[in-house]
Structure 1
């Protein structure tokens, strides 16, 4: 088991959503909607600097608190779904995730009573067994005039830093805008089935690679619908 002195971890502090339900929020800044409240079993968090203007949305971190009387050695793995900070914290965890750092239920209650605790964290790979990367069409979309979507179930430990939308007939691609959080948008999207290209990068913006999904977004795409892209990453 790793020790709290492990140099791969960064020292920080964490709080939790005091007025939330046990899981996360469905109105988070990343634009995930209800997915942002329930993904990863509800072990989610808002982030301050790690939000990175939305690039950090969907990133996974191992977070463990430092008080050996209450805290387990493994801590909890969380997904970033929102933006926020409190009293110089890097994370505002869901209540479920905050208590998940504890060794047992009694210790979890003690942690929640403290409200803010010293923690250490590191970036880890996300894992969604049996899931492919999935497009969720945003509720603001209006076929054929405006398309906005988020990407769900992104595995690995890299960020999606660019997305291209491609016409499947003539293979002309256009770079999409990140409107906010993890929401990618374009006005006047092409007609016909739409292909995507996603650029994955590490946190330094290096080690870049394009991933091309197997499946397209169908021509008759609709707001609120989800479409399995038939591809997954483990980088």
Structure 2
């Protein structure tokens, strides 16, 4: 009954403006209940890095359209890179006719066990919660509201260019940061085939979207083909995307979903 009521609420809110109407008509997934707050400042301060290993969301192309997720949504970093659409509803703090916002998961909102989940511990399990960048929060709600109920859904990610692979680690240990992933956006597996190898080696999630070889081995001086799999089962191959003369810190662009 709750989901049906929410569906009717979304349809009613859609009449407010064409932007919201478009969001309902092209719904890629079911709407669900959650709450949202914000962190950082109006310029995105304190939101540029985080638990997804992106380090600088501006440099990675995500900008201010970002959110941190509570434990229930973050799934130990598996949802880093996933895209969501949110709207404020059923609160006096909602901005009339604000429509929806679209954000990418780039950080983790940790639980605060010293505070009740209904009195400040907004990210405590099992609550589904979005801790938005301040500019995103202010697009749907008033600053004084602090926390507002939202309807949200997963949406396909739209990215410019191909998937990016940033090479890191050191001479003895190689890591690959995967970002700018379109479609599902949620990378569930990464495999690498190095020069001279016939098989793809499954990498291990280090944290967020940073991946490394299971044995923490180094592969400087080896060219690479990279296979990316998202949680919906889609796979894309970028053959010979990393040349043998790659350097630590370099980023290479592969194919896209």
Output the TM-score relative to the length of structure 1. Answer: 0.81
Cα RMSD after superposing both structures:
2.4
Query: Match of 1:35, SS?
Result: coil
* C-alpha distance in structure 2 between counterparts of 1:150 and 1:72, whole Å: 38
Query: Match of 1:162, SS?
Result: strand
Is it true that 1:5 corresponds to 2:29 in the alignment? no
Aligned residue runs from structure 1 range 1-235, under 5 A: 4-5=9-10, 8-17=30-39, 19-23=40-44, 25-35=47-57, 39-48=61-70, 49-66=72-89, 67=91, 70-72=95-97, 74-84=99-109, 86-87=121-122, 88=127, 90-102=129-141, 111-129=142-160, 131-138=161-168, 141-143=169-171, 145-186=172-213, 187-190=216-219, 191-202=221-232, 208-229=233-254, 231-233=255-257
Greater Cα offset, 88-97 or 56-65: 88-97
Alpha carbons of structure 1 residues 72 and 44: separation in structure 2 relative to 1, 3 Å:
farther
Alpha carbons of structure 1 residues 70 and 37: separation in structure 2 relative to 1, 3 Å:
farther
* C-alpha distance in structure 1 between counterparts of 2:41 and 2:247, whole Å: 31
CA contact (8 A) 2:98 2:139 kept: no
Unaligned runs of 5+ in 2: 1-6, 12-28, 111-120
Q: CA deviation at 1:73?
A: 5.5
* C-alpha distance in structure 2 between counterparts of 1:151 and 1:83, whole Å: 17
Unaligned runs of 5+ in 1: 103-110, 203-207
Alpha carbons of structure 1 residues 72 and 157: separation in structure 2 relative to 1, 3 Å:
farther
Output the TM-score relative to the length of structure 2. Answer: 0.74
